[in-house]
Structure 1
Amino acid sequence: MSVTTTYDEASVLQQIAAGDESAFSAFFHHWQPYLATHIYRITESAHLAEEVVQDVFMKIWMTRETLSSVTYIKAYLLTLSRNEALNALKSMMRRLSHEATTENLPPFEAEEPEQHRAFQLTLIDEAIDQLPARQKEVFLLHRHQRLTYAEIAEKLNIGKESVKTHLQLATKAITSHVKGRITVLILLLELQDKNFF
């Protein structure tokens, strides 16, 4: 049975449940823009939203036999996409938290998905701004300008051990800030997921 030109939700759902790929294609094109917007509002990342949309429709196809029993498809899709978006965000936060724990600060040249990297750099920038003036100066010279301990010591007229100490303190403070922010965000996401607010 083929999908008619007019989109008939009940008919399309029955066809998808029976394994009709053309019906699923029509369903995808009908709902994809709406769900993409909904998911973007949750994730605030176009790239992550695109991934979540794909995951949502993959899950729908994998469990297509249950679609014929869905009464309110819009509510079903919103709940499914919200849960997938929150799971994706929590997964990203935990991955960043693990990186901050095991590696202190990941190297700036590490390759990561764009949205993870942008989020991580935002947290690092926040932390750098809160450092004491000398720690911030030493950290930026080392991490951004790639100066060696000796070069920084000469430039700032301080000892190499002082440079090392400032860098250790700065790294510890930045790592603590990133981990703290990620932990709070995970908690907020979990509370939201449990409908506490």
Structure 2
Amino acid sequence: MPERQYTDKELLKLISEGNEAAFRSFFHAWQGRLFHYIRTIIKSPQVAEEVVMDVLTKCWVGRELLPRIEHVEAFMFRIAYHRAIDFLRAASRNPQLVDLLWEEIQMVDATEADNQVIVKEYETKLREAIGLLSPQRRKVYQLSREEGLSHKEIAGRLSLSKHTVNNHITEAQRFIQQYLADHLNLVTVFALLYVVSEKV
């Protein structure tokens, strides 16, 4: 006798009752779909797999609430989207995670032309952000980034204290990062934000 095929809603009801076999069926049914969806947000296959595991694990941990879900597909993709965005936001504050994303973005689904487009977009928005800095802050930033001067050298050239120079660079970096976050797509932002930190 063929095994019965359950709908997603039926599986969720069984899962809410602690049925591990139902969870395994639901897991296998959604693992691939969520992975491909999350890959459109996070290019790293490794990270996408981790996010998928997190989403599906939360379904089991919070299984008592599953019967309340009316539209399973919309719910699953919404949860996956928010978990992916949460990861990208965390990555922007963690250099190791940003490095991981950047390395994998370059290796996976990224031709030379793709990378050139990303870099060009980044450089365009970076120039825009620099242009919006106050004249003195922009000068301090450019002396640091383009001429490679130390804080002490910049302070001497512009007759400023080292503390003032440091404040200008810190605020310039903060403004530029926020500008990039507002004007670039998420993947580009979190793959490239660390470049700003390296250059200022």
Alignment counterpart, residue 179 of structure 2, candidates 170, 184, 194? 184
What pairs with 1:1-197 in structure 2 (closer than 5 Å)?
A: 4=3, 6-93=5-92, 95-96=93-94, 112-113=96-97, 115-116=99-100, 118=102, 179-184=174-179, 186-187=181-182
Amino acid at match of 1:90: R
Q: CA 1:188–1:137 in structure 2 vs 1: closer, same or farther (change >3 Å)?
A: closer
1 CA distance for matches of 2:177 and 2:20? 40
Tell me how far 1:27 sits from its aligned partner. 0.4
Q: CA 1:138–1:13 in structure 2 vs 1: closer, same or farther (change >3 Å)?
A: same
Superposed CA offset, 1:113-139 (max 9, x none): 4754627x998x957xx9979965869
Where do 5+ consecutive residues of structure 2 fail to align? 107-117, 131-140, 157-161, 185-200
2 CA distance for matches of 1:174 and 1:44? 31
2 CA distance for matches of 1:46 and 1:174? 35
* Contact 1:42–1:85, Cα closer than 8 Å, also in 2: yes
TM-score (norm 2): 0.53
TM-score (norm 1): 0.53
2 CA distance for matches of 1:54 and 1:185? 30
Tell me how far 1:173 sits from its aligned partner. 9.8
Where do 5+ consecutive residues of structure 1 fail to align? 97-110, 140-160, 190-197
2 CA distance for matches of 1:174 and 1:50? 38
Amino acid at match of 1:53: V
2 CA distance for matches of 1:72 and 1:63? 17
- Secondary structure (helix, strand or coil) at the match of 1:65 reads helix
Q: CA RMSD in A?
A: 4.3
* Contact 2:38–2:84, Cα closer than 8 Å, also in 1: yes
Residue 154 of structure 1 is matched in structure 2 by: none
Residue 111 of structure 2 is matched in structure 1 by: none
- Secondary structure (helix, strand or coil) at the match of 2:18 reads coil
1 CA distance for matches of 2:25 and 2:182? 38
Q: CA 1:7–1:173 in structure 2 vs 1: closer, same or farther (change >3 Å)?
A: farther
- Secondary structure (helix, strand or coil) at the match of 2:11 reads helix
* Contact 1:17–1:64, Cα closer than 8 Å, also in 2: yes
Amino acid at match of 1:34: R
Q: CA 1:132–1:186 in structure 2 vs 1: closer, same or farther (change >3 Å)?
A: closer
* Contact 1:90–1:186, Cα closer than 8 Å, also in 2: no
